[in-house]
Amino acid sequence: MNDTPDTETDPSPHGAQVIQAYLKTLDSSPGVYRMLDEQSRVLYVGKARNLRARVSNYARPTGHSGRISTMIAQTATMMFLTTRTETEALLLEQNLIKQLKPKYNVLLRDDKSFPNIMVSKDHAYPMIRKHRGAKKDKGSYYGPFASAGAVNRTLNQLQRAFQLRDCADSSFAVRTRPCLQHQIKRCSAPCVGKISEADYAETVRDAERFLSGKSTEMQAKLAQQMAKASEEMEFERAAALRDRIRALTQVQTSQGINPRNVSEADVIALHMEGGQACVQVFFIRANQNWGNKDYYPRLTADVDEAEVLEAFLGQFYDTKDPPRQILLSHALANDDLMTDALSQKLGKKVELLVPQRGEKAEIIDGALRNARESLARKMAETQAQSKLLKGVAEAFGLDKVPARIEVYDNSHIQGAHAVGGMIVAGPEGFVKNAYRKFNIKGEDLTPGDDFGMMKEVLTRRFKRLIKEDPERSKGDWPDLLLIDGGAGQVSAVREIMELYGVGDIPMVGVAKGVDRDAGKEEFYRTGQRPFALRYNDPVLYFIQRMRDEVHRFAIGTHRAKRSKAIGATPLDDVPGVGASRKRALLAHFGSAKAVGRANLVDLKAVDGISEALAQTVYDFFHERG
């Protein structure tokens, strides 16, 4: 891959004249081009089979759509990267679009990883659990599922059916009696010997057969076993098998779409209307529907379905492995190119299909209906949200309607496990991928010092904004800050804002009234008297929803931090002691406290603990004392 440097003899020209000047530096190589404005902001990233031919199209003075004409007029300079193949150019183009977020490209705005179900393989009694992120742990992975909710629903029914454990290995190692999960028939309690290793292993195999799509075969086997147990008058076992069959049937029923002839595919359907688009993605694995998710890519004018879908596929699979088959609602202009790119990524042949009849066409029709209905709801919500944002601007005397509102809150218990939370709201509602949590680090803070905590959170927030976007051009700067608190909080935050030169950003404190009742909130602004809104004002309800959302987010973050601290043991900090050795120590001594009291001879006697590691563990606890 070669990077051709910019050639700009005169910085003042714009548009076709600038683009024309680059033609003499280009050849017919495939590659990627960037169009930049006079402030070096990337306007557009594109790929080309032949760079010179593609750029020469932009150099023509006429014949362009409105969007392309505007983009050309704003172009002050260009950058080029040549590649060996057009497929490589496609992959690079989508990667750069995700990084640079150009103004005139179709942009996928929500790109979170998807959860899987994992069955562990590093324990005699494997556990089943939700997993998100890199597949580093030893185990079998089944997915992706469209959401945490889809995974949780499936796990819930699988635990009813197979009663596999979901507890941590450290907890399993020290249990002396069954937990609540066993009492409600969600776990077979292998931790205390309620099931043999062989029987548990068979149950794990059944669960994996189901997750692999062999549910019909497995349910037939369970039915035979139930009939046999009944004949032998083992009624308790027969009832357990009946409950398992029911649970598996419930999983399949809740999934809605369960295609007979599609074992593995992503179903991607696009609906466009009124300058907006919704892309619905359904995940079909093992002949089962593992959930769906909707996306609302950012569009500019004059884009068609083929361009939107190509951009979506490139960005969506940039960090994900594609399935063997992808069903599409519309054909792509370069389907051979996308097929080649996705096949290279997967290491196997990937098919892109636009089905016209049969079961696959019915699945696409269902996904299209979902996309159409989701976009209609989104457009209605956006209209209502726009009215509310306009109302906020009027209520607080803002110069413009805010496109980004940031709301802050703290959560702690007498200063312990303190965290700050930030949520974001805008024209499309809550922007959850922009939420941020802040672990309060200030060692000089008095426990429970809410003013100090808020100062720390806002200090870190503005330092980062100033570092990453000093020109305020990326859309990450707030148009309005809402702070949970009254005059004191507002004063503390204003001090930080003035210190960092961002005092021009409007900021309002939201405090509950005298009776601390919802509906009697008072609003505080620097240098102005507090005021209230009418109790039935829609803007007041909107502010209450934002305050409740940040409160929920901050409390959830605090609880997670507290739970992690409660579940932690001093063994987590001992060098060289990983999960398996921690299990061995806890199983041998019963608790971390007992490990800390153990002498060197007893530590050496633990299976898997070498003499050197025993000395490390002993020194760790005794040096601490």
Strand spans (E) along 466-601: 480-484, 507-511, 522-524
Q: Quickly list H helices, 319-437.
A: 335-346, 358-395
Return the pLDDT at 565.
Answer: 56
Torsions phi, psi for 298 (to 5 deg) = -80, 125
Mean pLDDT of 490-510: 92
Please work out, in degrees rounded to the nearest 5, the angle formed at the alpha carbon of residue 222 by the alpha carbons of 221 and 228.
Answer: 95
Please work out, in degrees rounded to the nearest 5, the angle formed at the alpha carbon of residue 237 by the alpha carbons of 233 and 241.
Answer: 120
Q: Which of 335, 330, 385, 372 is nearest to 354 (CA)?
A: 330
- Cα of first residue to Cα of last residue in the chain, in angstroms, is 59
- Give the residue with greater pLDDT, 26 vs 536: 26
188-233: per-residue pLDDT in tens? 999 999 999 998 998 898 888 888 877 666 667 778 888 888 888 8
Whole-number Å distance between alpha carbons of 226 and 220: 10
Please work out, in degrees rounded to the nearest 5, the angle formed at the alpha carbon of residue 124 by the alpha carbons of 120 and 126.
Answer: 30
Confidence class for position 447, pLDDT limits 50, 70, 90: low
Is the peptide bond prior to 259 cis by the omega test (within 30 degrees of 0)? no
Helix (H) / strand (E) containing 36: strand 31-36
Confidence class for position 337, pLDDT limits 50, 70, 90: very high
Domains of the chain: 2-100 (3.40.1440.10), 116-254 (no CATH), 264-376 (3.30.420.340), 405-565 (3.30.420.340), 570-624 (1.10.150.20)
Mean pLDDT of 334-353: 93
Percent with pLDDT over 90 in the chain? 42
52-63: per-residue pLDDT in tens? 999 999 998 888
Question: Which residue is it, tokens 């629903």?
Answer: 153
The crossing angle, in degrees rounded to 10, of helices 305-316 and 335-346 is: 10
Q: Who's near 53: CB < 8 A, 6+ residues apart?
A: 28
Least confident of 14-23, 189-198, 383-392, 447-456: 447-456
Mean of pLDDT over the chain:
85
Percent with pLDDT over 70 in the chain? 89
Mean pLDDT of 19-24: 91
Least confident of 354-368, 461-475, 570-584: 570-584
Return the pLDDT at 441.
Answer: 75
Confidence class for position 307, pLDDT limits 50, 70, 90: very high
Q: State the burial class of residue 351 (Cβ atoms within 10 Å of its Cβ: 0-12, 13-18, 19+).
A: middle
Return the pLDDT at 245.
Answer: 76
Whether residue 11 has pLDDT greater than 70: no
Return the pLDDT at 561.
Answer: 63
Mean pLDDT of 139-147: 88
Q: Which of 153, 167, 131 is nearest to 247 (CA)?
A: 153
Mean pLDDT of 442-451: 66
